Amino acid sequence: MSEKKPNFIVDAMLGNLAKKLRILGYDSKYFSSIEDDKLIAIAKNEKRVILTKDAPLTKIAEKQNVDSILIRGNDEFEQIAQINAKIKLDRFVMNTNNSRCIACNGNLRSVEKYRIIGKIPEGVLEREEKFWICDSCKKIYWEGTHFEKLQEFVNKLNNRFQ
Ligand SMILES: [Zn+2]
């Protein structure tokens, strides 16, 4: 597979994995329900690697020269390990500037605090300094307390793989 950062299309049942990949900055399309044919067609057209728990689907994809990775288990750390075993991923970086929107896979860009007054709880506005907004769905992000947990997850990934 190529040296370029891979883009993914994530099959149903792997929504949490899609979210983690988006946080880590990987362009990851996800559908909670999609037919195999459509999934493969999108992967082919957009040069995405399919992540799926469906073994027969990987066989069909292979016949059409579409890259796919069979994911096993429910632990996201182990799932990312399975991807990394097939495609060597870059060092993982927890950087919200590079993250994708968890909700829709859109691009995030930083946004000035004054522009989002009234759109998020006041307490958050007082407590946080940096905010990001999704270009597509306009969801607003801040790093908050979950950030440390994610940082731990990323450190654990890097310790294991790099
Ligand atoms: Zn979004």
Cα(63) to ligand 1 centroid in Å equals 33
* The token pair that represents 159 in the structure block: 């310790």
Question: Could you report the average pLDDT of every consecutive run of 10 residues in the chain (162 residues)?
Answer: 79 95 96 93 98 97 97 95 92 90 96 95 93 96 86 91 76
Neighbours of 63 (CB within 10 A): 8
141: CA distance to ligand 1 center in Å?
10
CA of 94 to the centre of ligand 1 (A): 18
Tell me the CA–centroid distance for residue 56 and ligand 1, in Å.
Answer: 31
Give the pLDDT confidence score for residue 3 in this predicted structure. Answer: 55
Q: Extract the tokens encoding 43.
A: 């992967």
Sign of torsion over alpha carbons 136, 108, 157, 61: positive
Residue 29's DSSP bridge partners are: 9
Q: At a CB cut-off of 8 Å and minimum separation 6, what does 71 contact?
A: 14, 17, 51, 52, 53, 79, 82, 83
| Upper half-sphere CA count for residue 162 (Cβ side, 13 Å) | 11
pLDDT, residue 1, reads: 44
Å from CA of 140 to ligand 1 middle: 8
pLDDT of residue 91: 86
125 CA from centroid of ligand 1 (Å): 20
Contact 158, 137 (CB under 8 A): no
**Global pTM value:** 0.91
User: What Å distances lie between residue 34 and 27, 37, 41, 67, 150, CA to CA?
Assistant: 18, 8, 11, 18, 29
Q: How many CA atoms lie within 13 A of 73 on its CB side?
A: 9
Query: How close is the Cα of 135 to the center of ligand 1, in Å?
Result: 7
Per-residue confidence (pLDDT) for residue 134, from 0 to 100: 97
Q: How far is the CA of 119 from the centre of ligand 1 (A)?
A: 15
Q: 74 CA distance to ligand 1 centroid (A)?
A: 25
Cα 151 to ligand 1 centroid, rounded to whole Å: 21
Q: What domains appear along the chain, each with residue ranges and CATH number? A: 8-86 (3.40.50.11230), 96-145 (no CATH)
